[in-house]
Each structure stands twice: as C-alpha cells, then as structure tokens.
Amino acid sequence: MRLTLLTVVIAVACPACLGSGGGASPTTQAQSEVTHPVEPAGHKPILVPIPPVKGRWPRDPPPPIASAPVRLSAPPRVVVDACRAAQSKTTMPVLCPTLLPKPILPGSPGGRIAKWKTVLDLGRSGYEISYGAPWEAGSGRGWEGHLWRNRPGCFFHFTLEPYGGKAPVSGAYFFFGKHPPEHRALVGGYEGMLYNVTIASHLVFLFTRDGTHYDVTEHSFGRGTHRLLSRLVASLRPITPR
C-alpha cells in the first residue's frame, strides 16, 4: 500500500475490542459476510473516548468539541463504493469498515470541514480512505501550533490491503534497511504484528483472517490512535459487489 500522508504513533489498550485472537475472526458476527455495512445495533453511534487536547495553543485554540469522544457510525456511500471497487479487482475478500469517524471541524483556522476522499491502489486490491490533511513538518512555518487538528475530528487516513501471502514488511511504511519496532498485539480482536513507528507515520497492523493476510494502517494523532484503530478493525466485514 502506498501512503500519501504523514505523523506519530502511540498505542493504548482497548479491552472492549479484544476477542479470542489466534489469527481467526474475533466473533461469529465478524465471520458472516454482509453486502453492505450497517449501523450498529439500534442505529446509535459508537463513542470512543480519546485523551483530551492538552497544552497551550495560543495561535489556534481548540474548541471543547475537539476533546469529545470520537463518534463512529456507518460509512458514507463513497467509502462503500471504494470497497466494492477494490473487491472487483481481486478474488481475495476485501474488508470494509462498518464504523467510521466523520469530520466535524475544519482542518485549518477559518477553513471548511473536509470531505471524504478515496484512492484505489493501482495494480493492487487495496484502498485508502481519508478526509482532511495532516499538520507536519512539510506543512509550512508554524505547523506545530496546529497539531491538535491531526485528531479525527479534522483529519483521518485509513488504508487496507489484502495479500495472498504474508503481508510484506517493506515499502512506504518503514525505514529502509532497518527492521521496524514491532510486537505481537491484539487489535480489534485479531492477533497480529503491530508496528508503532513508520516513515509514513501510520500505526500498521498485520493480521490474518480466514486464510487471507491483511495490513491495515491509521495515521497517528497521538495518544488514542490505537484505541480508535481497534474499534475500526473490529468493525471490518467482507463486502460483496452490488
């Protein structure tokens, strides 16, 4: 998977998201195929608490809503269409998140709230979904004063790639010539390998489900990234064409 956006990663446990592990699907529900992602039971959003914004931000003070729990609900049509387009390119099951955050604040002071964007990997069967853009060293002078806007209320970037064999530990994720930091972890109920620091500033998780290997990544927004990723991974379901 080629990544186009950048930041830093810190992991936090998510006990509610953990299942049996062992590389299998976390629950019977997760094993069942669905033709369209659906809202959670009762059509109520899922709230994922994340640490509040801390520190002083004199040039760009965050509103209280920036520290609110992340609200997860059914994905927009553009995401579902991207998942279906990715599935049309392969016989391997493409997983699609049935829960996603949404933009609620502009990505820059005085800006507009971002819209969803999707990218299909050329020659492969993965996809990227995102809204907004990160604040980082390449964003220009004074970028550090806006880092709180890397949170999912303003910016979000998620990728998924299925593999017939074990997902490669290479490419845009990692420092070339160096083995990245890794450890076994349970994320969203799956046991796999978690990479906390990458040159693309994504948290990377490699796992196996029903014989297919996957890598999923989420751009870091600091503390709370792993908790949100766990919820997203737990919501992944196979998707079929219309």
pLDDT digits (tens, 9 = 90+) for 121-161: 866 789 999 999 999 988 888 999 999 999 999 999 999 99
Q: How far is CA 69 from its chain centroid?
A: 16
Distance CA 227, CA 216 (A): 14
Q: Give the DSSP H or E segment for 232.
A: helix 225-234
3-state helix, strand, coil in the chain (%, to 5): 20, 25, 55
pLDDT digits (tens, 9 = 90+) for 40-98: 444 578 999 999 999 999 999 999 999 999 999 999 999 999 999 999 999 999 999 99
Q: Is the pLDDT of residue 14 over 50?
A: no
Q: Is the pLDDT of residue 119 over 50?
A: yes
Q: Give the DSSP H or E segment for 118.
A: strand 116-120
> Dihedral (C-alpha) 201, 21, 189, 130: value to the nearest 10 degrees?
30
pLDDT digits (tens, 9 = 90+) for 15-33: 222 222 333 333 323 333 3
Q: Give the DSSP H or E segment for 128.
A: strand 127-131
pTM: 0.80
Residue 167 confidence (pLDDT): 60
The single-letter code of the amino acid at 166 is: K
Give the total residue count for the chain. Answer: 242
Distance CA 190, CA 233 (A): 8
